[in-house]
């Protein structure tokens, strides 16, 4: 019996010393000390030992168990330490390695132009408001003095959802919505996306952006409109920019005008940029038509106002001297990151 125990002890210790993983240690524990382990089976065969011998053998079994357990614990601690050190070694940070480059996104030229326009008008006390892109025919046309059958409807190729609903072809419906909701004085700009069934080319797109402006108060005159847009043009294109108002026609304003600014490249001498004329068209504007005020329950005898509409892409193209509007929508990162 004594020899058998000695054999078990030797074999167990050898296996423990040779093991190089915590899992192997567990297997050894089960093989020797487990319910069906070798040491346990020795205990089970105690009945073969004579009564006098039993306490002695029992003590030897316990000693053997203790030795094996101690060795297991010791080895376990050693292996755990080794594993921790290896892990730490793997996690060492080499501070001399070159850093990974993070690509930081940045603003689209449209957005830069919009923020610039907003900054100018907010500085003059305007509020920025928004309206729905899917709009009622009423707000997009009828309330803007463009009844059914009006020729102005043909000039804008509109996407209709059904008889009453369309994708707004201009940001002007926000004027009507604002006048319905609030009383004068009103001073707003309304930037947003508009839709027209245009073919895509260098200057057209079925979806683009406008910035609408509206001022309603007592005693607002065309002089206020001219002064406001002159400040706007100078802020946007430079202090020496001159502004020219050309008579025009829009159904929702009377009188109406188109506004040109002096070419900021050639300062009016004429160049490729302004097609030799020295002037660049930037927006349409006018005094709000009394019919539009009446539709919104504002008394045209008491109040007057002006409105204007600027193409956002047009501003971005001019400011950054981009000659093809499609570049603004292709989102080619090599193009966009120049701004």
Query: Considering beta carbons, is residue 57 or 263 the nearer one to Zn ion?
Result: 263
Query: Considering beta carbons, is residue 211 or 263 the nearer one to Zn ion?
Result: 263
Query: Considering beta carbons, is residue 108 or 319 the nearer one to Zn ion?
Result: 319
Report in angstroms how near the CB of residue 277 gets to Zn ion at its nearest: 8
Report in angstroms how near the CB of residue 246 gets to Zn ion at its nearest: 17
- How far is the C-alpha of 228 from the C-alpha of 205, rounded, in Å? 29
Report in angstroms how near the CB of residue 229 gets to Zn ion at its nearest: 20
Report in angstroms how near the CB of residue 263 gets to Zn ion at its nearest: 3
User: Nearest to Zn ion by Cβ — which residue?
Assistant: 263
Query: Considering beta carbons, is residue 111 or 266 the nearer one to Zn ion?
Result: 266
Report in angstroms how near the CB of residue 312 gets to Zn ion at its nearest: 22
Query: Considering beta carbons, is residue 273 or 320 the nearer one to Zn ion?
Result: 273
Query: Footprint of Zn ion on residues 272-331 (CB under 5 A)?
Result: 273-274
Q: How many residues in the shown chain lie near Zn ion by CB under 5 A?
A: 6
Query: Considering beta carbons, is residue 111 or 271 the nearer one to Zn ion?
Result: 271
Query: Footprint of Zn ion on residues 224-283 (CB under 5 A)?
Result: 263, 265-266, 271, 273-274
Query: Considering beta carbons, is residue 15 or 265 the nearer one to Zn ion?
Result: 265
Query: Footprint of Zn ion on residues 163-192 (CB under 5 A)?
Result: none
Report in angstroms how near the CB of residue 266 gets to Zn ion at its nearest: 3
- How far is the C-alpha of 18 from the C-alpha of 164, rounded, in Å? 86
By rule CB under 5 A, what string of x and - marks binding of each residue 84-113 to Zn ion? Answer: ------------------------------
Report in angstroms how near the CB of residue 245 gets to Zn ion at its nearest: 19
Chain residues binding Zn ion by CB under 5 A are 263, 265-266, 271, 273-274
């Amino acid at each position: 019996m004594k020899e058998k125990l000695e054999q078990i002890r030797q074999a167990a210790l050898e296996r423990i010393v040779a093991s190089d993983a915590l899992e192997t240690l567990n297997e050894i524990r089960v093989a020797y000390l487990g319910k069906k382990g070798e040491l346990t089976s020795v205990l089970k065969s105690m009945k073969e030992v004579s009564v006098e011998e039993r306490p002695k053998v029992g003590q030897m079994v316990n000693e053997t168990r203790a030795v094996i357990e101690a060795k297991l614990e010791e080895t376990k601690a050693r292996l755990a330490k080794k594993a921790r050190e290896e892990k730490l070694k793997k996690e060492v940070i080499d501070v001399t390695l070159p850093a990974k480059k993070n690509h930081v996104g940045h603003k689209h030229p449209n957005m830069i132009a919009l923020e610039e326009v907003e900054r100018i008008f907010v500085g003059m006390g305007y509020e920025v408001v928004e309206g729905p892109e899917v709009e009622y025919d009423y707000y997009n046309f009828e309330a803007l003095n463009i009844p059914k059958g009006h020729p102005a409807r043909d000039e804008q190729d509109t996407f209709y959802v059904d008889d009453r609903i369309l994708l707004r072809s201009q940001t002007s419906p926000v004027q009507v919505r604002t006048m319905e909701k609030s009383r004068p004085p009103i001073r707003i700009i309304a930037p947003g996306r508009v839709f027209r069934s245009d073919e895509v080319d260098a200057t057209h797109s079925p979806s683009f952006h406008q910035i609408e402006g509206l001022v309603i108060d007592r005693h607002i005159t065309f002089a206020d409109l001219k002064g406001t847009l002159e400040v706007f043009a100078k802020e946007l294109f430079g202090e020496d920019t001159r502004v020219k108002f050309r008579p025009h026609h829009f159904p929702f304003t009377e009188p109406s005008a188109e506004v040109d600014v002096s070419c900021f490249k050639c300062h009016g001498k004429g160049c490729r940029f302004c097609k030799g004329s020295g002037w660049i068209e930037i927006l349409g504007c006018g005094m709000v038509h009394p019919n539009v005020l009446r539709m919104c329950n504002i008394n045209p005898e008491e109040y007057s106002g002006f409105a204007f509409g600027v193409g956002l892409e047009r501003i971005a193209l001019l400011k950054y001297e981009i000659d093809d509007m499609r570049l603004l929508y292709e989102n080619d990162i090599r193009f966009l990151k120049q701004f």
